[in-house]
Structure 1
Amino acid sequence: MAEVAAVGWAISAPITTRLLNHGFDESEKLRDLEARILPRLALRQQQAERIPPERMAHLERWSGRLRSAFYDAEDIVDVADYHRLRKQVTHSGSKLMFDKLQHIVSGKTSKLKKSLEKLQNIIEEGFQYLPPLASTISNDNDIANPANKETGIVTTSSASSQFIIGRDEERDEIVNMLRETPDDDEPDSNDKCYSTIGIYGVAGSGKTTLAQHVCSYERAAKYFFPVIWIHVSQSFSVRKIYQEMLEAVSGEPSREFSNLDTLQIKIEAELSGRRFLLVLDNIWTCRNVNAQYKLDQLLSPLKVGKRGSKVRDLLVTSRFKDAAKSAGAQNPMKIPDLNEKDYFNLFMHYALGGMSTDDHKLETLKMIGADIVKNLKASPLAARLVGSQLRKQLNATFWRRVGDQSMLADTMGVLWWSYQQLDEHIRRCFAYCSMFPQGHMFERDNLVKLWMAEGFMNTTHSVEEMEIVGQIYFDELVSCSFIQAKQSTSSDENEQFSMHDLLHELAVMVAGKDWFCFEYGDQIKEFPPDVLHLFVRSYDPMKLTELICKLKKLRTLIFFYGSITIGALESMLKKLKKLRILDLTDGGALEFSHFENMSNLVSLWHIRNPGRHLNYSVISSFPGVGEMKSLRELSDFTVRKEKGYELQQLMIRSLLIEQASQIEPSLKLMPHPEEIDRFTDEQTDMVDAIVMDIFGKCDSVLQKCLRGSTSLTRLTLQGIPFIKSIPSEVMRSLSMLQYLFIISCAQFTHLQGLNHLSSMRRFEIRKCPNLTALQEDEKGRALHALYIDDIHIMPKLLSRECFISLQSLVFWEAEEPREEEILQQFSYLTYLIICFCNWNRLPENLVNLTCLQQLSLLYCKNIQSLPTLPSSRRVFMLSTCDQLFMKSCQTVGHQNYQKIAHVPWKDFFSYE
């Protein structure tokens, strides 16, 4: 039924409204699409199991043709919208342009007329496949058609959070097995220095939840450090997982390392001597020698150290017992079903948890719920999905009808029923996620932007309204448990979400032929010719260029990893004229070495695609943006003294730029200051991040560039010799600013209004010797991380309230502190890092930092001894310091060694 489901998205998409708005309201068939077709499609999906195979094949083919016809019409209307926008941007258009616009919009072009005639004919043909809407819908109508739903009572957010019940016994059993340390003399036929515990069971039985329960317990107990979680897809990449492991253990991005040997050496160095726990979630059966080799290669970094001296444990989950055994688990645990009481309580948590209603109604729903759970086969995933849908309608009649649904007898049937309860627009957004591989982590805002670019929002109004609608769609998927929030940490900059593997399989099933995911290791001769959205995760996407060029209908192209040349991109974009989204993520980079200007290329591309999303993750040079009248979003742009990089290039209506780098608004660059005024007046809220490097006397220019930038999240001022201040009125407008860097600005003196930066996470201010103290009411009040070179700056800029909130403090090339009492005011400091400092000793009052978990000394050559340190510390890192000092910290019995003996994780390394 994938084609049938997908055609519902097409009909209910904003394209129908756009066609009517463009003057085609004389077509009664178009006007009645939602009223006449959608309910019948919904009913046909409900009755899918009763449709004869030959009739189902006809229905599927018809649905595919109808959906394709809608896409064709949408592409033509895109052209009309583009010319309309171009006329608005240029303010005055030629008569030829105006005539062309009128010709397209009026529907007189033969191409558009033929497209609409084809669409109407297909619609007329479809009525023979669709049932009447009379009594056949009967009492199931409110289940099949989400539009008829009763809203019920307002809920709380408690059911959206992770809820675990009835798994403490299994958790404790696994914890005990993890902590069993064999004697040194115990023989080991596998010659391993780590032990493996396995959990297996059918999909949706709670394996991942149990493993997460174990991880949460171990993180709190602090017996293992670190605890590393890795999701393993069926076609996993050893390199990708190595990078994830290295990033998890080092806390630093690892994507600059791509060589397997280098990654393995670094992982082994990081893990050496540590007591750690690695969790591999959802491993698959090794069906051939190559798959087993990949798994062995994946586990090879664990074979470091002496068995029995330090515990290295591996916990794996899998649907298959053999898969757990292939990873080294001798006696994998089959996850047991929850007992009836716990399972019922789990179901009722998602169905009624946090609800407020009268006792009689509550008891009635509980009685009905007790009957429903009998059909769910003790599947925790089914309990979560069905419960999440029921909580929206606290209606006993609806609950009873749900209990009568035969499809609830198996887990996939539950998923399909839950999917059918979603609004058509939200179904399409859910299906879009099928393009990404299993285990992919979604960032809320990024995913919403992709939906917006594709036109999935049920609105034709402003970008701001589209984003609001997109956020509502996302919240709906979360509340219905189709997407789950990742357990966040204090260091997370963006909240991440994931999708259960079974739900991903459902998304793939309902998405049909529109979406395709290519991962490294996949062998393919051709992509499906009608694919619209393509995700490529490959270390060498250049090999796929020729295949991609054949996808004439492609709308989304996402390269995840791997670099591609501008020449290859040019060849693709000449073919992919319907492309809406080009996303180069996580290392995808364009090489601009032989290409001077992209204006003609991208202008040609965007003639076909108004209002789309172009995302470059690591590009700092992108000339000719001004020619791209359709562009709405760009992650980076450089303004400088070259053709194609002028500030005027950014004067495009409704463009959002995530980072405008190296803006140099000197008098030489812009001889007409009124251009700055025009830019700041017209482009309010356009830029998300600004980096400013060396330029002339520009306090006023800086003020103008920052004026109205209420959405700015990142600002860097570096090496600007004449700048003196950021005025208070500008600071007041930067309420969304999260990262502020002021470096090597010798005359910088004033930072009034720091108190207005309520969203600040990281503040770095170094080599600004002339800073003056702020008034108490102007000092910063909220901050997560601070990078400084002078401890005496802190009381000048930060309030006592901010001292308490600070978690990370980094001294970089700092003078030795003369007033140590300042340091002890950071009562909740958890990370202290001292880098490139010529200190002769560490402050004696470090012991008073009772929340300190990590102390790192990097390139501090003069320090010879350690003071008494707080017992709270979990990590001690010493890198490239005095050799004798580093040796003494590793010598048993030495006083330096004694002061860190209680620390679970100690790291010593040198780059010299």
Structure 2
Amino acid sequence: MTRVFNVEKLLKQIVNSVRDDLRESLDMNELQNLVRETLYEKKYLLVLDDVWNEDTMKWDDLKKLLMVGAFGSKILVTTRNEAVASIMGTIPAYCLKGLSSEDCLTVFLRKAFEQGQEVLYPNLVGIASDIVQNCEGNPLLLMTLGSSLHMETNEWEWHEVKNHEMWNSKQNDNILPALKVSYERLPSNLKVCLAYCSVFPKGCVIEIDKLIQLWVAEGLVSKSNESEDLEHIGIQYFQELLSRSFFQDVEEYRSVFTSLCKLHDLVHDLALSAAGVEFCTVNSHTQIISDEARHVAFSDYDLSAAELPASLLNNQTLRTISFSVDGVGPMSTMFIENCIARFVQLRVLDISHSCFDELPRSVGELKYLRYLDINSNGSIKELPDSINKLLSLQTLRLSHCAQLEGLPKDIGNLISLRHLHITTKQTCFPDKAIGCLSSLRSLYIHSCTNLVSLSEGLQYLTSLRTLAIIGCPRLTFFPSTMKHLTALENLLIVDCEELTLLEWQDIEGLRMIRSLVIGGLPELESKDVQRLGNLQMLVLAGLPQLVALPRWLEGASATLQYLRVERCPNFAALPKWLENLIALEKLEISKCGKLSSLPEGMSCLTNLKVLRIDKCPILSSESEGTHISEARINRKLIQ
């Protein structure tokens, strides 16, 4: 859970965990009634993890809603705050202790060595026994320190960690020494990227693509030669920080092609400490902001007035302005205009989840701006033509702007634009609006409810790597020129009800496709496709006509690593040729009510590490293939 105890958000999560028909437009009363209906006289276990709420009234209001369940229902709460435990608990809290010395060493060595390799280095294991004594039994500290020494066999490096001056230095903050040691061992480029994560509120879910786009916009990602792709390098940066356990709770492909992650609170504190005076959160209580601040995040601040905080007025170095991910409510256009006039060096302007009627024309004067996010603004109706002057702009996010009439007619002037997310009322996009964006790497068309056809100009986007089309109910066909998108690696088509037939032969020409997501289409053609030889991920969702996997999938037997089938009520069986998918590592099937058995030969899938099958009520919870490290069928762990 986040630090802000949002009852409405929590209720939606509760309902979503047990049913699929939740409408986003429900008001609070409707949502409360739905929770009562969902839990009424049912025995349940509800786990609320990492709770920080100290408001007794909020907890009492929630508890009243939850008391309709059957006798024996339980609510389990975890928290790091004793006050929370006393408010929420009806029985004494159970205080967790740190790991034992033996377990500490085990966790540390798992991160420092590949499986079984530690026996080759008994001298290093001895040093590790001393290092872990400084970690207070904390798994996070053990993982970050162990990761920092991963595959490092130089004994001197291990002694350097063991004898690091940080262990004995006087601490002027709450940052644990083990985290500081891990941070000090990072390369300089990763240090600044981790410090930049302090712009996100503590405990919030971070969209990984957005994080990497921000790193690129701020100039934190560099390439050694012109042929390298900045986003790919950014992904490598993220993967390196992830491998060192600085990020956690990574959820791959949670939504669209978007992967999510979090920073542990202790790591967020570390990032704040590393950022120093360069980062500042501004709220109604903020009195002093350093003139050296480069990144400012507004939270709990009155933006309906025009005035900027007085202590910001002399700042000449500001590069980032962002707002709370939970939204800031009404925002004065004059406030935005004052930000633009005052901070002409801005690289990042994130005013998403806010509410204002128009973007000032002066935004065109931000000649260094590389990232502009206006997502989830329900009021804005048009963008000023001056936005076409932002020749340095790399990312423009306009999703969920339901009242936006259209894109500026000369948006093709944005020669540096690499990522475009749009929601508009247009029935079609003019060819020149999209087709001239020759640098575009990703295009997300989201909830364009009037959109009938895609621009023929798509064929000119020869650098496009990702195309996602979601929630466009009137879209009837794709242009035949789509086959010219020869660099396309990721294609997603979801909830396009009038797109009655997907011409597989058009997809067949897209030979670089690695990830394919298809969902919510009433019909799906099943012709053989011979050339998807690079396909690594396939998701089929919400396809009532799907009864079996398409045979053409066998053509990706050497490359397919991830397969997911969900909400396909007539999907009845996995094919015998499934055993030919020799590269498959992860197989997930959910809410396929007619699936009754698994094929013989599952043991032939020697690379399969994860098998998850859920809400398939007539499927037996038996599976061969004991080599699978994680196998669950209808939530039952298969040994």
Q: Would the TM-score normalized by the shorter structure come out above 0.5?
A: yes
Deviation at 1:579, TM superposition (A): 3.0
In structure 2, give the amino acid aligned to 1:380.
P
CA contact (8 A) 2:528 2:552 kept: no
Equivalent residue for 1:777, pick from 494, 511, 530? 530
User: How far did residue 612 of structure 1 move?
Assistant: 1.7
Contact 2:208 2:259 in 1 (8 A): yes
Which stretch has the larger CA shift, 558-567 or 779-788?
779-788
Query: SS at the partner of 2:57?
Result: helix
State how 1:483-882 maps to structure 2 within 5 Å. 483-486=247-250, 493-517=257-281, 524=285, 526=287, 528=289, 530=291, 531-538=293-300, 542-543=303-304, 546-548=307-309, 551-552=312-313, 553=315, 554-559=318-323, 560=325, 561-565=327-331, 567=333, 568-585=335-352, 588-592=353-357, 595=358, 598=360, 600-604=361-365, 606-607=366-367, 610-618=368-376, 621-624=382-385, 625-636=387-398, 645=407, 647-660=409-422, 680=435, 683-690=438-445, 702=456, 704-705=458-459, 707-708=461-462, 710-715=464-469, 719=474, 726=480, 729-730=483-484, 733-739=487-493, 743-744=497-498, 750-755=503-508, 756=510, 757-766=513-522, 774-775=527-528, 777=530, 783-788=538-543, 805=563, 807-809=565-567, 823-825=571-573, 830-832=589-591, 846=594, 848=596, 853-854=614-615, 870=618
Within the alignment, does 1:365 sit opposite 2:124 as a pair?
Answer: yes
Worse-superposed segment, 422-431 or 461-470 = 461-470
Residue identity matched to 1:785? L
TM-fit CA distance, 1:758: 4.1
TM-superposed deviation, 1:396: 1.4
Corresponding position: 1:313 with 2:50: no
Percent sequence identity over aligned pairs: 21
- Partner SS, residue 478 of structure 1: helix
Structure with the bigger RCO (C-alpha within 8 Å, sep 6+) is: 1
Corresponding residue number in structure 1 for 2:160: 401
In structure 2, what is the Cα distance between the partners aligned to 1:462 and 1:731? 22
Once the 2 structures are TM-superposed, how far is the Cα of residue 745 of structure 1 from its aligned partner?
A: 5.7
The 1:247/1:779 distance shift into structure 2, 3 A limit, reads: same
Q: Secondary structure at the match of 1:267?
A: helix
* Structure 1 residue aligned with 2:578: none
Which deviations, in whole Å up to 9, do the C-alpha atoms of 1:125-147 show, x marking residues without a partner?
Answer: xxxxxxxxxxxxxxxxxxxxxxx
**Superposed, which structure 2 residues align to 1:121-132 within 5 Å?**
none
For 1:662 and 1:706, the matched residues in 2 are separated by 22
Distance change (3 Å), C-alpha of 1:526 and 1:503: same
1:714-737 Cα shifts (integer Å, max 9, x gaps): 13676467x586357347553311
Say if 2:124 is the partner of 1:328: no
Cα deviation digits, residues 245-285 of structure 1 (max 9, x gap): 4555556788655x655544443333334443333333458
Over 3 Å counting, the alpha-carbon distance change for 1:274 and 1:871 in structure 2 is: farther
- Structure 1 length-normalised TM: 0.54
1:614 Cα offset (Å)? 0.7
| Distance across 2 between alignment mates of 1:761 and 1:720 | 17
Change (3 A) 1:260 1:682: closer
User: What amino acid maps onto 1:807 in structure 2?
Assistant: V
Q: Deviations over 1:730-752 (max 9, x none)?
A: 47553311235654368x78441
Q: For the structure 1 residues 379 and 316, does the alpha-carbon distance in structure 2 shift closer, same or farther, using more than 3 Å as the test?
A: closer
Asked if the contact 1:347–1:384 (Cα under 8 Å) also holds between the matched residues in 2, the reply is: yes
Q: Does structure 2 retain, via aligned residues, the 8 Å contact 1:384–1:481?
A: yes
Identify the range of structure 1 (248-257 vs 614-623) with the bigger mean alpha-carbon deviation: 248-257
The alpha-carbon deviation at position 239 of structure 1 amounts to: 4.4
Structure 2: tracts of 5 or more residues without a match? 576-586, 599-611, 622-633
Partner of 1:169: none
Matches within 5 A, 1:212-611: 231-233=1-3, 236-250=5-19, 256=25, 260-284=28-52, 286=54, 291-308=55-72, 311-320=73-82, 322-354=83-115, 359=120, 362-391=121-150, 393-405=152-164, 407-408=166-167, 412-458=176-222, 465-486=229-250, 493-517=257-281, 524=285, 526=287, 528=289, 530=291, 531-538=293-300, 542-543=303-304, 546-548=307-309, 551-552=312-313, 553=315, 554-559=318-323, 560=325, 561-565=327-331, 567=333, 568-585=335-352, 588-592=353-357, 595=358, 598=360, 600-604=361-365, 606-607=366-367, 610-611=368-369
Instruction: Decide whether the 8 Å contact of 2:589 with 2:613 is kept in 1.
Output: yes
**C-alpha distance 363-787 of structure 1, shift in aligned 2 (>3 A):** closer
570 and 299 in structure 1: CA distance in 2 versus 1, 3 angstrom threshold: farther
Q: Deviations over 1:748-797 (max 9, x none)?
A: 7844143455411224434x7xx9763453799864234457569x8999
| Structure 1 contact 729–753 (Cα < 8 Å) conserved | yes
Give, in whole Å, the separation in 1 of the partners of 2:155 and 2:546.
64
Alpha-carbon offset, residue 826 of structure 1: 5.2
Task: Tell me how far apart the structure 1 counterparts of residues 232 and 595 of structure 2 sit (CA, whole Å).
Answer: 48
Distance change >3 Å, CA 397–CA 299, structure 1 → 2: same
| CA–CA distance in structure 2, aligned partners of residues 496 and 377 of structure 1 | 29
Residue 661 to residue 400, structure 1, CA distance change in 2 (3 Å): closer
Q: Report the CA distance shift for 1:326/1:253 in structure 2 as closer, same or farther (over 3 A).
A: same
Q: Provide the C-alpha distance between the structure 1 equivalents of 2:14 and 2:493, rounded to a whole number of angstroms.
A: 27
Aligned partners of 1:431 and 1:508 also within 8 Å: yes
- Output the CA distance in 2 between the equivalents of 1:348 and 1:847: 42
Give the residue type in structure 1 aligned to 2:106. N
- For residues 223-251 of structure 1, what are the alpha-carbon distances to aligned partners after superposition, in whole Å with 9 as ceiling and x for unaligned? xxxxxxxx252x54444544554555556
Going from structure 1 to structure 2, the CA distance change for 1:492 and 1:418 (only over 3 Å counts) comes to: same
Alignment partner of 2:521: what SS?
strand
Distance 1:491 1:236 in 2: 23
Matches within 5 A, 1:49-68: none
Structure 1 stretch displaced more, 757-766 or 426-435 = 757-766
Deviation, structure 1 residue 477: 1.9
Which structure has the greater CA radius of gyration?
1
Alignment gaps of 5+ in structure 1? 1-230, 812-821, 834-844, 856-868, 874-902, 905-912
Aligned counterpart, 1:205: none
Measure the CA separation in 2 of the matches of 1:711 and 1:543: 39
2:8 and 2:306 map into 1 onto residues whose CA distance is 22
Give the Cα–Cα distance (whole angstroms) in 1 for the partners of residues 411 and 350 of structure 2: 21
Check conservation: 2:44, 2:69, Cα contact below 8 A. no
Judge conservation of contact 1:725–1:749 (CA < 8 Å) in 2.
no
Pair 555,260 (structure 1): closer, same or farther in 2 beyond 3 Å: farther
Task: Report the equivalent of 2:609.
Answer: none
Q: Which residue of 2 aligns with 1:102?
A: none
Provide the alpha-carbon RMSD of the alignment.
4.6
The 1:312–1:785 alpha-carbon spacing in structure 2 relative to 1, beyond 3 Å, is farther
1:232·1:280 contact (CA, 8 Å) conserved in 2?
no
Cα distance in 2 for partners of 1:776, 1:578 equals: 50
Query: Separation in 2 of the partners of 1:758 and 1:784?
Result: 12
Q: Deviations over 1:403-427 (max 9, x none)?
A: 2335336981222222222233322
Structure 1 CA distance for aligned equivalents of residues 44 and 137 of structure 2: 33
What amino acid maps onto 2:160 in structure 1?
Answer: R
Residues 281 and 759 from structure 1, CA distance in 2 versus in 1: closer, same or farther, beyond 3 angstroms?
A: same
1: CA distance, partners of 2:497 / 2:146: 53
Relative to structure 1, the CA distance from residue 872 to residue 574 in structure 2 (aligned partners, 3 Å threshold; closer, same or farther) is farther
| Letter aligned with residue 582 of structure 1 | L
Match of 2:581? none
1 CA distance for matches of 2:247 and 2:574?
Answer: 38
Aligned equivalents of 2:405, 2:97: Cα separation in 1: 67
